Amino acid sequence: MVGQQTKLMESIDSQRIKVGDRVFRPRRIQRHRLRRVLGVPALFSAGYGNVGSSIYYALGIVALIALGATPIVLAIAGVLYIFNALTYAEGTAMLPEAGGSASFARHGFNGTTGFIAGWALMLSYIVTMAISAYTIPPYLGYFWPVLRGPVVGTAVSIGIILFLMVINIFGIRESSRINIYFIVVDIATQLTLVVLGVLLILLVDPSVLLQNMFGEGNWPSAQNLIFGIAIAALCFTGVETVSQLAEETRQPTRRIPQTYILMIVVVLVLFAGISIVALSAMTPQVLGDPVNGWARDPVAGIAANLPSATLQSIFAPLVAVLAASILLTATNAGLMGISRLAFSMSSHRQLPVTLSRIHHRFRTPYIAIILFCLVAFLLLIPGFFTAGFFADLGALYVFGSLLTFALANAALLALRVKKPDLPRPFKLGWNIKVKGRELPLTTILGLISTAAVWLVVVISQPYSRWVGIIWMVVGLIIYYLYQRKQRVSLTHQENKPAKPG
């Protein structure tokens, strides 16, 4: 009887499947699901691995542009981070599947919009992997100066990504344990630096901070102030990483919102403290000087300016080790995120289904992991010849991430309008009623602000503008050809998951 029912269901399903889909075997999907093994600590470590790492390089870049307004610029970017984190908290609890903004946009609009969000996010993940791995050797150069050289440093960066590729193929639990250990030690050290900086530098003479922020020559022009806000978005990454791990999270509807709330609190406290202490310890010109200052290692600059030789001798090597460890975590988090995103998008036939293939033993999307590590290798090749590409990578990241955030906010609003009855385990408050629909104010503000800042980047930064546009155009061409081969309409809203090849 059971066998007859099974055959009947297979017969019914076969009538619903299109010609291009017959190669898939729906019965095998259950055996290849990603394992639900993650809790709040692992989720937080993955997300904070991106956010916490950015302070080790982005603070100097922001100071180079925003000068004394750096703490204010970071505070404004922090507000945008809150808007986006809350949007992802509701969206991921509502749709606990890998994909993040790509999943939101697919459900809220259609498959094409979902692909645009996912493809832009892939650009951000790849750049995160490359830029994080590339900044590890300079910090370790405190112990081994040879690592500061472009050839050796870039080679080590590629080796780091290769190492993490192997770890992630073996399984996410192992890579998450690495994250948690590094994150705990890093947060403790940053808090200690903030406390020491406040007690030994800021409170001794508060006028120094005021002079470095508002003194003559320290306040940026209006154009640099606006661009500084855009670049400061580089500091607040990691939102998507948590969402990508929804399918591997135990009780995702409860634990993912908890993770986002925890990240908001920790990130804002640490970033505010670090930026204020940094400008108390040195001028914005010294902080943002890429040649003789601390632009590439701003946190090390704080340690070096502590008013005690003993404290300097303790924290200088400690910061070097922790910076390397947290940047390693960020590289790992970027790899985890992009592999899971590729798994989700290929499962919904937005990318070739081969990318969603799960390893028969380790049950990880190994093909996606290997492929995007190879792409990151290619991005790092210019590092053998010049260090100038580092700033371009940062601008390119901002292009992809802000476009992704804008689409995520727009998709959440669309879901509130089109599917108001969809279960929302975590629902945002402060709603505005429009034609009987409740639209969250934070999401509206998130959409407006991220879209506006993205336009600033597109208009003012030629490298990120053209590389970003080319990336998106190439992706849309691939998507169109693949959808045509699959005989799927470009305006379809949702696809049932396809079987990994």
- In 3D space, the residue among 296, 316, 331 whose CA is nearest the CA of residue 157 turns out to be 331
Query: Are residues 32 and 500 in contact, defined by beta-carbon separation less than 8 angstroms?
Result: yes
Residue 494: pLDDT over 60:
no
- In 3D space, the residue among 114, 50, 119 whose CA is nearest the CA of residue 81 turns out to be 50
291: enclosing H helix or E strand: none
In whole angstroms, give the CA distance from residue 270 to residue 118: 30
The full set of domain ranges for the chain reads 34-486
Superfamily holding 34-486: Amino acid/polyamine transporter I (1.20.1740.10)
Mapped onto helix, strand or coil, the DSSP state of residue 492 is: coil
Q: What band does 41 get if pLDDT is binned at 50, 70 and 90?
A: confident
Q: Is the pLDDT higher at 146 or at 48? A: 146
Q: What band does 7 get if pLDDT is binned at 50, 70 and 90?
A: very low
Query: Are residues 441 and 432 in contact, defined by beta-carbon separation less than 8 angstroms?
Result: yes
Please state the pTM of the whole predicted model: 0.78
Q: Over 345-365, what HEC string results?
A: HHHCCCCCHHHHCCCCCCCCC
Residue 412: pLDDT over 60:
yes
pLDDT computed for residue 12 by the predictor: 38
Q: Is the pLDDT higher at 60 or at 412? A: 412
Average pLDDT over residues 262-286: 87
Mean pLDDT of the chain: 79
Q: How far is CA 97 from CA 243, 249, 345, 356, in A?
A: 8, 10, 11, 14
Looking at 3-17, 106-120, 400-414, which range is the least confident one? Answer: 3-17
Looking at 184-188, 228-232, 289-293, 491-495, which range is the least confident one? Answer: 491-495
Average pLDDT over residues 58-82: 87
Residue 5: pLDDT over 60:
no
- Which residue has 């696809």 as its token pair? 495
Q: Is the pLDDT higher at 277 or at 492? A: 277
DSSP conformational letter for 17:
S
Q: Is the pLDDT higher at 271 or at 18? A: 271
Helix axes 366-380, 111-134, angle to 10 degrees: 60
In whole angstroms, give the CA distance from residue 218 to residue 209: 11
Looking at 226-230, 407-411, 488-492, which range is the least confident one? Answer: 488-492
Residue 497: pLDDT over 50:
no
In whole angstroms, give the CA distance from residue 280 to residue 197: 8
Q: Is the pLDDT higher at 397 or at 444? A: 444
Number of separate helices (H) and strands (E) present in the chain: 20, 2
Residue 329: pLDDT over 80:
no
Average pLDDT over residues 123-135: 85
Span 294-321, pLDDT tens digits: 777 788 888 888 888 888 888 888 888 8
pLDDT computed for residue 473 by the predictor: 93
Mapped onto helix, strand or coil, the DSSP state of residue 227 is: helix
Span 418-466, pLDDT tens digits: 988 888 888 888 888 888 888 999 999 999 999 988 888 888 888 888 9
Q: Is the pLDDT higher at 488 or at 496? A: 488
Residue 347: pLDDT over 80:
no
Most confident of 174-188, 205-219, 358-372: 205-219
pLDDT computed for residue 225 by the predictor: 87
Looking at 267-281, 326-340, 391-405, which range is the least confident one? Answer: 326-340
Residue 65: pLDDT over 70:
yes
pLDDT computed for residue 15 by the predictor: 42
pLDDT computed for residue 253 by the predictor: 75
Query: Are residues 248 and 58 in contact, defined by beta-carbon separation less than 8 angstroms?
Result: no
In whole angstroms, give the CA distance from residue 15 to residue 74: 55
- In 3D space, the residue among 397, 496, 475, 487 whose CA is nearest the CA of residue 112 turns out to be 475
In whole angstroms, give the CA distance from residue 437 to residue 435: 6
In whole angstroms, give the CA distance from residue 490 to residue 470: 20
Span 141-180, pLDDT tens digits: 878 888 877 788 889 999 999 988 888 877 655 445 556 7
pLDDT computed for residue 45 by the predictor: 74
- In 3D space, the residue among 7, 207, 130 whose CA is nearest the CA of residue 382 turns out to be 130
Residue 352: pLDDT over 70:
yes
Q: What band does 30 get if pLDDT is binned at 50, 70 and 90?
A: very low
Q: Is the pLDDT higher at 8 or at 73? A: 73
Residue 111: pLDDT over 70:
yes
Q: How large a percentage of the chain has pLDDT more than 70?
A: 81
pLDDT computed for residue 359 by the predictor: 66
pLDDT computed for residue 444 by the predictor: 94
pLDDT computed for residue 28 by the predictor: 38
